[in-house]
Structure 1
């Protein structure tokens, strides 16, 4: 039986709240939470499907815990693994690199052979540029708790519904 992990920093506020909403929508018994600050290669061997939190820090950077783990990640063969990425960003404060961390992490995972699922529409967002955008879609789920918090619950529900199909079909 395939196993699904959701990886996020247990020490954040907004990403943690978003992850908890995803866990609730996915089904608590169907997904295991993993602290992103305690990652190891074993984590990626243990699961088949992953939901990763990638909040964009500063001017389009990955959080430190991902930066520190990238060298290990780049050595892995992830060709039999499926990943979905969500991230927090600020469309108004950082419109030129909105949710870039989603795109950065997706690029690294794809170089390791991973399959990325969970694309979402760019409709309803206002920003200048994003590395998470591919064509008219995002490669994952961007959430903007600064400017659009009331849309988060619906966006997560729609995304999780799609992930269940993408992961298990």
Structure 2
């Protein structure tokens, strides 16, 4: 199988999203040189890859991880029409049940009109407990939602299921 060139960009404040990023990268057999902190996101880096995996944690009242504010501006400034994008993120479904993983939804909303093709964007919500999320569209998460704080026992299986779906969709 000729895998497309995949890069993973994450924004992580406490290290949880970074840890999830490296678990995803390992399952996709990505080289560490293809995994980046979003602070290293540039138009040149985007141009090198066909598939972009973008990860963010959710902060405050459903906000992006701080480093993503510059990162999303970089992505808005490049042509993503020939890019495939998959989103993942971390949230706290107990303390922030009404904004659970909103960061994923914010990235999705910002990139929806970019012409990119989303994959891994129909993650079932049934094994999660939360009140509301901007990351839900048509009854499913638009990317992989992880609650490593309250549901850490489900994290590895959720990653594995999602990565298997990505492998099918990437081809």
Aligned position for 1:146: 149
Structure 1: where are the runs of 5+ without partners?
Answer: none
- After superposition, residues 148-167 of structure 1 pair within 5 angstroms as 148-167=151-170
Q: CA deviation at 1:75?
A: 2.3
Aligned position for 1:20: 22
Say if 2:38 and 2:71, in contact at 8 Å, map to a contact too: no
**Counterparts in 2 of 1:11 and 1:144: CA distance versus 1, 3 Å:** closer
Q: TM-score, with normalisation over the residues of structure 2?
A: 0.91
Quick one: which of 121, 126, 129 aligns to 2:124? 121
Structure 2: where are the runs of 5+ without partners?
Answer: none
Aligned position for 1:39: 41
Q: What's the Cα RMSD here?
A: 1.8
For residues 112 and 122 of structure 1, what CA distance do their matches in structure 2 show? 26
Aligned residue for 1:50, secondary structure, equals strand
Quick one: which of 10, 25, 35 aligns to 1:8? 10
Q: CA deviation at 1:11?
A: 6.4
Paired residue total: 168
Aligned position for 1:135: 138
**Counterparts in 2 of 1:146 and 1:82: CA distance versus 1, 3 Å:** same
CA deviation map 1:12-69 (0-9, x unaligned): 4111111111112111359821221111111111100011111111111111211123
Aligned position for 2:106: 104
Aligned residue for 1:163, secondary structure, equals helix
**Counterparts in 2 of 1:130 and 1:11: CA distance versus 1, 3 Å:** closer
Moved more, 32-41 or 155-164: 32-41
Determine whether 1:53 maps to 2:58: no
For residues 37 and 131 of structure 2, what CA distance do their matches in structure 1 show? 32
